[in-house]
Amino acid sequence: MAKQKIVCVLYDDPVGGYPPQYARQGIPVLAAYPGGQTMPSPAAIDFVPGELLGSVSGGLGLRNFVESRGHSLVITADKDGPDSVLEKELVDADVVISQPFWPAYITADRIAKAPNLRLAITAGIGSDHVDLQAAIDRNITVCEVTYCNSISVAEHAVMQILALVRDYIPQYHLVVNGGWNIADAISRSYDIEGMSVGVVGSGRIGLAVLKRMKPFDVALHYTDRHRLPTQVEEELGLTFHSDVESLVKVCDVVSIHCPLHPETEHLFNDELIGKMKRGSYIVNTARGKICERNAIVKALETGQLAGYAGDVWFPQPPPKDHPWRTMPNHAMTPHTSGTSLSAQARYAAGVREILECWFDGRPIRDEYLIVQGGHLAGAGAHSYSEGDTTGGSDEATRFKT
Ligand code: NDP
């Protein structure tokens, strides 16, 4: 293959410098994903699993591999605005790699300025930061490392469901601030036992959340475009809802796990949130733009929502004055759930596997594909709809100022 230029956008190194001190020595070795999908299988890796790979100096462990094959690799965190390194380097790039945590928004405008671009790899899951319609129209392959961090996110979602219902964060702050007023500490704290918990999207993450919530003795609900096998419904005691309105009306907690695509953009708006039970909780670890920004703020202020948590925002990074940073009764994290040190090892290996295929002219696994050959393909054909959801992403430049 002719020399390829690869532009890789990763988040900044730790403030205290790279490498950081690691809390543990290594990570467990997993044999396969639930359901049997095989783990990423590159010919080799040049990194230590469990080390920080998702920041600029970690470089997804790709540099030696890419350069030894005679290709060039640019790694940058500078991704937003017309003067960014990304925008300058993209003009003659063949491949772009980006993580959803620090997304390189590959808009139609940027695609138009990158005539050589043929492959956009998501180091993670969720390729909505690419204008998929423009990728379809320009015959750019879009792929992601399906399953690499699905369980990581499911664990984070369960943590945030419990954090909201039990009202953990204020209690933690009370202790840190030297207080001990128990009445204050429990004024918004409930048991989840007996509540109704629903997921929107019962794919890899949604199903893993349902399985993890089952032992809490809650009533489990879900909605999805495709129904789960009857055996799974029976084992978990699931109630299926053919539409999201029906689900939100009966649930105390709603956890969102569908991709962001035109069907789901701003799905949780004033109208849908208005149909929820008063005092419900939303956990959104899918994509920030599935929820309408101001509708969430308003619902928390009026008490229609008792709490909101998640780790996904729009855009990313969100400006310093993004109202989700300061709205009441939230338990937000930055977009971290899918980039634990454990997850990074899997998606770094997955990106290497994809690049090995690309350089060797071998097919990329079907399960990794979102767009190929001018249409939605593989996992993308199952879970996405055509179109673009990157509109407004240029607001990410405001983080800098
Ligand atoms: P999957 O593709 O396994 O699951 C997504 C599910 O959502 C599918 O079952 C799909 O349905 C369903 N879905 C699609 N559209 C709708 C809709 N309109 N209404 C209801 N359900 C719908 O992906 P994962 O579970 O692995 O990941 C889901 C999403 O989570 C990703 O797309 C990404 O946005 C986000 N994510 C976030 C991460 C983080 O770090 N916070 C990390 C990883 C993922 P079907 O296929 O049946 O049509």
Convert the pLDDT of each residue in 227-238 to its tens digit: 999 999 999 999
Element housing 87 (H / E): helix 85-89
Q: Would you report the helix, strand and coil content of the chain in percent, each value rounded to 5?
A: 35, 15, 45
84 Cα: distance to centroid of ligand 1 (angstroms) = 30
Convert the pLDDT of each residue in 216-228 to its tens digit: 999 999 999 999 9
CA-closest residue to ligand 1 atom 20 = 224
Q: Verify whether ligand 1 is closer than 6 Å to residue 153 (CB atom).
A: yes
Mutate to test the pocket of ligand 1, among 152, 156, 254, 258 (most ligand atoms within 8 A of CB): 258
Active-site annotation holder among 4, 99, 304, 316: 316
What is the residue type of 347? Y
Q: What is the predicted pLDDT for the residue at 1?
A: 82
Active site residue 335: yes
Of 394, 377, 392, nearest to 132 by C-alpha is 377
CA-closest residue to ligand 1 atom 33 = 126
Q: Verify whether ligand 1 is closer than 6 Å to residue 123 (CB atom).
A: no
Q: What is the predicted pLDDT for the residue at 401?
A: 60
Q: Which residues pair with 222 in a beta bridge?
A: 199, 240
Dihedral pair phi/psi, residue 188, rounded to 5°:
-125, 25
384 Cα: distance to centroid of ligand 1 (angstroms) = 8
Q: Verify whether ligand 1 is closer than 6 Å to residue 332 (CB atom).
A: no
Active site residue 287: yes
324 Cα: distance to centroid of ligand 1 (angstroms) = 22
Q: How buried is 334 (Cβ within 10 angstroms: 0-12 exposed, 13-18 middle, 19+ buried)?
A: middle
270 Cα: distance to centroid of ligand 1 (angstroms) = 22
Active site residue 316: yes
Q: What is the predicted pLDDT for the residue at 349?
A: 98
Which residue, chain included where needed, has tokens 């060797």?
Answer: 360
Q: Verify whether ligand 1 is closer than 6 Å to residue 372 (CB atom).
A: no
Which residue, chain included where needed, has tokens 């690309």?
Answer: 358
172 Cα: distance to centroid of ligand 1 (angstroms) = 32
Take residue 59 and report the two structure tokens written for it: 């470089």
CA-closest residue to ligand 1 atom 45 = 383
pLDDT, one tens digit for every residue, the chain (401 residues): 899 999 999 999 999 999 999 999 999 999 999 999 999 999 999 999 999 999 999 999 999 999 999 999 999 999 999 999 999 999 999 999 999 999 999 999 999 999 999 999 999 999 999 999 999 999 999 999 999 999 999 999 999 999 999 999 999 999 999 999 999 999 999 999 999 999 999 999 999 999 999 999 999 999 999 999 999 999 999 999 999 999 999 999 999 999 999 999 999 999 999 999 999 999 999 999 999 999 999 999 999 999 999 999 999 999 999 999 999 999 999 999 999 999 999 999 999 999 999 999 999 999 999 999 999 999 999 999 999 999 999 999 999 86
Q: Verify whether ligand 1 is closer than 6 Å to residue 259 (CB atom).
A: yes
Gap between the Cα atoms of 342 and 102, Å rounded: 18
Gap between the Cα atoms of 309 and 300, Å rounded: 11
Gap between the Cα atoms of 356 and 362, Å rounded: 8
Q: Verify whether ligand 1 is closer than 6 Å to residue 263 (CB atom).
A: yes
What are the angstrom distances between the C-alpha of 373 and each of 14, 107, 140, 370, 376? 39, 19, 7, 10, 8
Q: Which domains does the chain have, with CATH numbers?
A: 5-148+339-377 (3.40.50.720), 150-332 (3.40.50.720)
Active site residue 69: no
203 Cα: distance to centroid of ligand 1 (angstroms) = 6
Point out the ligand 1 atom lying closest to the alpha carbon of residue 101: 40
222 Cα: distance to centroid of ligand 1 (angstroms) = 13
Mutate to test the pocket of ligand 1, among 37, 146, 153 (most ligand atoms within 8 A of CB): 153
Mutate to test the pocket of ligand 1, among 383, 385, 386, 390 (most ligand atoms within 8 A of CB): 383
Which residue, chain included where needed, has tokens 């695509």?
Answer: 261
Active-site annotation holder among 4, 110, 129, 149: 149
